[in-house]
Every structure is written in structure tokens, then in C-alpha cells.
Amino acid sequence: MTRQREKVLKAVCSLEHPTAQETYAYITSNTGLQAEDRISLGTIYRNLQVLEEEGRIAAVPAGQDAMHYDARLDVHYHILCGKCGKVFDVPMQYNKDIDLEAEKHSGCRIESHDILFRGICKNCCSEEN
């Protein structure tokens, strides 16, 4: 793994479902960055893609405009905040019944499903009050 890729992976682990832009902002805002450590947004995109292909991170297609990336690889649910645009994990149990139900109605073999909830996150809710 290249140093740059390692850096991108570390950023995704430190952030919560960052987009490529957020990953870029995180890495470039790091102080003490050496000249050889400079990294372009294009490189970030490429590295995120490779990391996803290698199965080290997961892509969460939650945003309307941008892909979010997740360091957590097990199947879990997400909520997209309509106000700040951030994606958070929803700590509820994976519902296998939905797979069985879908299998029954579609005749397909279902392996898993994703749920993306839409709403307003805790932070934004408390700002409203």
C-alpha cells in the first residue's frame, strides 16, 4: 500500500462517512505536511476507489451529489441528515426478515440489503431548539 493510500484510509477511519472532499480537507489541513506528502483531490478520488475495490472501505451512496465512504465493513444502516448532509450509523439490528420477505416476493436470492433513513441528525435537532 502506498503512503498516500494509507493516509486516505486513515482519514476515512478518523472521520464519519466522509466524502472525497471531506477526506481531502482532512488530509490537507493536517499541519506539518511535507512537500512530498501533498496530495490532489484527484488522487484522493482514485485512492478511495482502489480502497473500495480492495474491500478495505465501503461506499455509501447516500448523498445526492457525492459518495460517502465508510471504514465499517459489516452490514449496517445509515441515516442521511437533510440539514447538514452528513451520514451517520443507525445502531439497530440488521433485519434478516426483510431479505426473506424480498426473496419470497421476487424469487431472487437476496444476500443483503441497505437502508438509508432520511431525517435530521441529533446535532441539527439540538441546534433547532
Which residues of the shown chain bind Zn ion in the complex (CB under 5 A)?
70, 72, 81, 83-84, 89, 121, 124
Pairwise CA distance, residues 89 & 86, whole Å = 10
39/81 with CB nearer Zn ion: 81
For 66, phi and psi rounded to 5 degrees? Answer: -140, 150
Minimal distance, residue 38 CB to Zn ion, in Å:
29
As measured in angstroms, the least distance from the Cβ of 78 to Zn ion is: 6
Nearer to Zn ion, 29 or 126 (CB): 126
Q: Least CB distance from residue 93 to Zn ion, whole Å?
A: 15
Q: Are 62 and 80 in contact (CB under 8 A)?
A: yes
**Cα separation, 95 vs 112, whole angstroms:** 9
CA–CA separation, 56 and 73 (whole Å) = 8
- What are 90's three cell numbers? 443507525
Residue closer to Zn ion, measured from CB, 15 or 121: 121
Q: How far is the CB of 101 from Zn ion (least distance, A)?
A: 23
Q: Report the amino acid identity of residue 12.
A: V
Closer CB to Zn ion, 43 or 59, in the complex: 59
Cα–chain-centroid distance for residue 88?
9
